[in-house]
Amino acid sequence: MKVLIVYYSMFGHVHRMAQAVAEGVGRVRGAEAVLRRVPETLSAEILKKMGATEAQEAMSSVPVCSVEELASADAVIFGTPTRFGNMCGQMRQFLDATGQLWAKGALVGKVGSVFASSATQHGGQESTILSFHTTLLHQGFIIVGLPYTFQGQTRMDEITGCSPYGASTIAGGKGERMPSENELEAARFQGEHVATIAAKLKG
Ligand SMILES: Cc1cc2nc3c(=O)[nH]c(=O)nc-3n(C[C@H](O)[C@H](O)[C@H](O)COP(=O)(O)O)c2cc1C
C-alpha cells in the first residue's frame, strides 16, 4: 500500500513535518511512505532574495512529483505553507494540472489529508487546510483529518499548531521556529491514521 506525501516547502518547516508524517505511515504494517515535492514555480533568483536557497538545497534529494504519480497511490497526504490563508501557489499549480485525472475519475475513493504551516499562530492554518479540502472533494478523495484522539492538540501548556482538520506548525515571522515535538507527533499521528484507514479500505 502506497501513501504519497506531496508537499511544498520554502524554508523547510513543511519538509520537516512531511518527514514526521512519513514516520507515522511507516508505523502501519504493509504501508510504504513516498515523499515527493511539487515543482517549484519561482526562479532561483527570487528564492535567493527570499533567503530560501540553503533550505531548498537541503530538500533537493526529495524527488519532484508528477501528477500521474497521484493515481498510483492508495492515499495522498498533502503539505503546504499558508499563503494569505490559502495553500501556496506552487501547490495550486500542481493541483490545477490534475484535470486529466479528474476526467478519468482516477483519484475517486483514495484517502486524502492535509497538513500545513503558517508564520503566526492564527495566520490561517485552519483555512488553508479546509480550503484545500474543496479540491480534494472535487477529485473524489475521502478526507481524513487529525482526530482528537491525538490529544496533543488540546494542550494549553505550550504554544502549538494543529486542529482536527490536520497537523500544523507555527514557523514564526522570520521562520525561526522549527516544528515542536508536539507538532511532529501530530504529523506522525496523521500519517499513521491515514495509512490505517487506507489499509482498511484496500481490504
Ligand atoms: C506570500 C506569502 C504569504 C504568506 N501568508 C501567510 C499568512 O497568511 N499567514 C501566516 O501566518 N503566514 C503566512 N506566510 C508565512 C508562511 O506561511 C511561512 O513562511 C511558512 O509556513 C513556512 O513554511 P515552509 O518553510 O515550509 O515554507 C506567508 C508567506 C509568504 C511568502
Q: Could you tell me the three cell numbers for 1? A: 500500500
Q: How far is CA 60 from CA 36, 40, 120, in A?
A: 10, 11, 26
Determine the number of helices (DSSP H) and then strands (DSSP E) in the chain. Answer: 8, 6
Q: Is the dihedral of CA 132, 195, 190, 73 positive or negative?
A: negative
Q: How far is CA 103 from CA 39, 68, 107, 110, 131, in A?
A: 22, 13, 10, 15, 21
The continuous run of DSSP H or E covering 185 comes out as helix 181-202
Range 57-70 average pLDDT? 97
Q: 119, 171 in Cβ contact below 8 A?
A: yes
Range 108-137 average pLDDT? 98
**Residue 203 scores a pLDDT above 90:** no
Range 143-171 average pLDDT? 98
Within 10 A of 64 (CB to CB), how many other CB atoms are there?
13
Residue 7 makes CB contacts below 8 A (sequence gap 6+) with 14, 15, 17, 18, 35, 36, 37, 38, 78, 79, 80, 91
**Residue 156 scores a pLDDT above 90:** yes
Q: How far is the CA of 154 from the centre of ligand 1 (A)?
A: 24
**Residue 11 scores a pLDDT above 90:** yes
Task: Tell me, using a 6 A CB cutoff, whether residue 124 lines ligand 1.
Answer: yes
**Residue 20 scores a pLDDT above 90:** yes
Beta strand segments in 38-170, E: 75-81, 111-118, 142-143, 168-170
Q: Could you tell me the three cell numbers for 65? A: 512529483
pTM of the model: 0.98
Range 24-37 average pLDDT? 98
Residue 156 makes CB contacts below 8 A (sequence gap 6+) with none
Q: How far is the CA of 108 from the centre of ligand 1 (A)?
A: 30
Range 79-89 average pLDDT? 98
How do residues 34-47 score in pLDDT, each as one tens digit?
A: 999 999 999 999 99
Task: Tell me, using a 6 A CB cutoff, whether residue 117 lines ligand 1.
Answer: yes
Q: How far is the CA of 122 from the centre of ligand 1 (A)?
A: 12
Task: Tell me, using a 6 A CB cutoff, whether residue 91 lines ligand 1.
Answer: no
Residue 148 makes CB contacts below 8 A (sequence gap 6+) with 154, 164
Question: What pLDDT score does 39 carry?
Answer: 98
Question: What pLDDT score does 195 carry?
Answer: 98
Task: Tell me, using a 6 A CB cutoff, whether residue 190 lines ligand 1.
Answer: no
Range 156-175 average pLDDT? 98
Task: Tell me, using a 6 A CB cutoff, whether residue 175 lines ligand 1.
Answer: yes
Distance CA 113, CA 78 (A): 6
Task: Tell me, using a 6 A CB cutoff, whether residue 24 lines ligand 1.
Answer: no
Question: What pLDDT score does 17 carry?
Answer: 98
Task: Tell me, using a 6 A CB cutoff, whether residue 16 lines ligand 1.
Answer: no
Distance CA 184, CA 132 (A): 21
Question: What pLDDT score does 121 carry?
Answer: 96
Query: Whose Cα sits closest to atom 7 in ligand 1?
Result: 84
Q: How far is the CA of 168 from the centre of ligand 1 (A)?
A: 12
Range 80-90 average pLDDT? 98
